[in-house]
Structure 1
């Protein structure tokens, strides 16, 4: 269907042919890696003696501020992320792409085959690998008049790109003309691909991997809910109110991030999904299309969580940093999972009696003196496992009509034999 609207391209105009290809791939939703690999293949097919392509593109992500892509003839596109840093790396400061930004150069060409001293260290490596010519440029995705002076340490949205050849005599004039004429279309396709990636990454980080995927694929209507079975997890740090009064803000946030990093990594590592953070706690779930697998995954997570939290707390205390314990409640049942809220502010979350009962179980930690409590439903769904599940007795939970038997996960010594006790 898209091809029907693309203009016909004459065979004797390679730039028009490549631009049509870039437009088609952009409309088809090609990702950055696939787009660059195809672009380099098209250039080679059109007679450009390309040895290497490098592209750096700004990213909007909590963990990194940019992404680098490298293509080498005979190989696939590789990717590298550039972590946020207040101190620029020497590798960046001594690169030709930094000079392009700093000096606002429309392009930069450096011959590598003439024996002259090279102004940038990385070009020596390209020359040692047979490179003869280096060509670089930049493109911003914003109105140049609105950008003003560009800060090379905090560049606007856009990308930096370089091409290297090992052909005798370097790039021909026709090669450079082709690169220049197709750069805007490459930029448009890359902007589209980067925006899709940014949306996927940010939704995954802020909503959770599963909720983010559902929102991105169209589950966005208020009140659109799906009934699923899941193991619900309530995690909470103990003594946080006291610590908040005694600890400075930066140290407190560092502690939260440290502990949350452990529990989120373990939940996701066992196939679970973090639904939301709630002050010093979080709500997570293991979808139970296979109830036994979900219950066992939750128990494996809980067992590892106890050990990893104890290890991290000991490390923090040894460094003189604030540390604390945790509580974890597990229950299984049917939940409603989807969009809840107001017209202008929605939350993709879980509600239902199973979520409420998990909260009630979470309130029993002090009464039973255990950091991990699970319901009889989780215990029965898990079946026989290597975990030692010990009954804590039957309790009346607020808002629950029938008495509920609760269990804990016994902390056995490392290497000890496990036996379920009910």
Structure 2
């Protein structure tokens, strides 16, 4: 993200700041850049800002929120992520952000005066020499409440005129921040549910049924063994935890090595490694090696709890696939289809029959170097294909 061009900032009044925020930020994609420049502009109107934050609740599978922090003299704001567990910690409970989330319309603390609030945040600000602090809700649509805060180190704190000027920017800042958050939310949800590359294609306009492209890729299909038995005999919550642990073990190495998971299918997953990356096939095998290690650790953990080790099968093939939108007129799935996908699925099914965790086609094996430990396991008939397929097991 580029820092705001603060050298050219010369507003004369709070009205100039509101006009800038309303009319001149539409080409800036990132709310942290807008917030940093806003703080500089507010300073240049004479408001003695020393520190400011935005506390945003976001819809993300890993993070509850994000905190944007600006400090005097900084060209950029700092962004930190906030985990879901923060709601149970003292840093949040009783804090100004907590009070705003609980419905407060304003939290003001004259830090020079005693006695004052004893929350750790106020103690920290007093130690930094700050003299006054105010927090307000940023009201988004459908009752969403976020928080913006401002603090100063001027003796005597903010005066009434400062507070009035800061209040002026709140409605516009709420609108500007909501637009950026909705844009980021759309991207996050697409990345979460269809993957980064597919999400980018959808945002770029690939939303019509049948739209897509032909991609040459290594295809990986993985399936958990004995899941029906597990789901019938384990408590429901334990089954969900097991699936999540299993998908973490498989998915994180895939993402780390440049693969893209297109979907989870019950207890299985489908991933591709596009051959536009010359290292794609090697990357897939590195991902499989790391996934194996993670699965071994997970099985050891389950064994300590008196549960059987987890077994799985992985089928790998390479070929051309159609990558795009398939489905009904009103419900689409962004996926890959083609004979190469069917072959990977058949190889995964053969892993159980042949007693191997990972089976690779000859077409895939020919694209990897001899550095990988591949074991030839002969030719085998594959359901749906007329000719036997030469297969290799991966021992790495």
Question: Normalising by the residue count of structure 2, what TM-score does the alignment of the two structures yield?
Answer: 0.92
Aligned-residue offset at 1:246: 1.2
1:213-362 correspondence to structure 2 within 5 Å: 213-290=200-277, 292-321=278-307, 323-362=309-348
Q: Is the 8 A contact 1:110 1:135 kept in 2?
A: yes
1:98 corresponds to which residue? 98
- Rounded to whole Å, the distance in 2 between the matches of 1:89 and 1:190 is 27
1:401 corresponds to which residue? 386
Aligned-residue offset at 1:87: 5.7
Q: Is the 8 A contact 2:106 2:135 kept in 1?
A: yes
The answer to whether the aligner puts 1:378 opposite 2:364 as a matched pair is yes
2:38 corresponds to which residue? 39
- Rounded to whole Å, the distance in 2 between the matches of 1:27 and 1:396 is 60
1:69 corresponds to which residue? 68
Deviations 1:158-206 (A, max 9, x none): 3111100011221233322211111111111000011111111111111
Deviations 1:287-332 (A, max 9, x none): 1114x41111111111222222112111121133564111111100
1:105-184 correspondence to structure 2 within 5 Å: 105-142=104-141, 156-184=143-171
Q: Is the 8 A contact 1:276 1:284 kept in 2?
A: yes
Deviations 1:135-173 (A, max 9, x none): 111132236xxxxxxxxxxxx413111100011221233
Aligned-residue offset at 1:223: 0.6
- Rounded to whole Å, the distance in 2 between the matches of 1:324 and 1:57 is 40
Q: Is the 8 A contact 2:273 2:284 kept in 1?
A: yes
Q: Is the 8 A contact 2:219 2:272 kept in 1?
A: yes
Mind listing any 5+ residue stretches in structure 1 that lack a counterpart? Answer: 1-9, 144-155, 412-422
Which shows bigger deviation, 206-215 or 18-27? 18-27
Aligned-residue offset at 1:131: 0.3
Q: Which stretches of structure 1, 4 residues or more, deviate above 6 A after TM superposition?
A: none
Secondary structure, counterpart of 2:352 in structure 1 = helix
Aligned-residue offset at 1:63: 2.0
Measured on the aligned residues, the alpha-carbon RMSD in Å equals: 2.0
Deviations 1:382-417 (A, max 9, x none): 133x21111111123222233321001124xxxxxx
Q: Is the 8 A contact 2:86 2:92 kept in 1?
A: no
Q: Is the 8 A contact 1:255 1:322 kept in 2?
A: no
Aligned-residue offset at 1:70: 1.4
2:19 corresponds to which residue? 20
- Rounded to whole Å, the distance in 2 between the matches of 1:86 and 1:110 is 23
Q: Is the 8 A contact 2:313 2:352 kept in 1?
A: no
2:190 corresponds to which residue? 203
Aligned-residue offset at 1:216: 1.6
- Rounded to whole Å, the distance in 2 between the matches of 1:350 and 1:29 is 35
How many aligned positions are there?
386
Secondary structure, counterpart of 1:93 in structure 2 = coil
Secondary structure, counterpart of 1:169 in structure 2 = coil
Question: Normalising by the residue count of structure 1, what TM-score does the alignment of the two structures yield?
Answer: 0.86
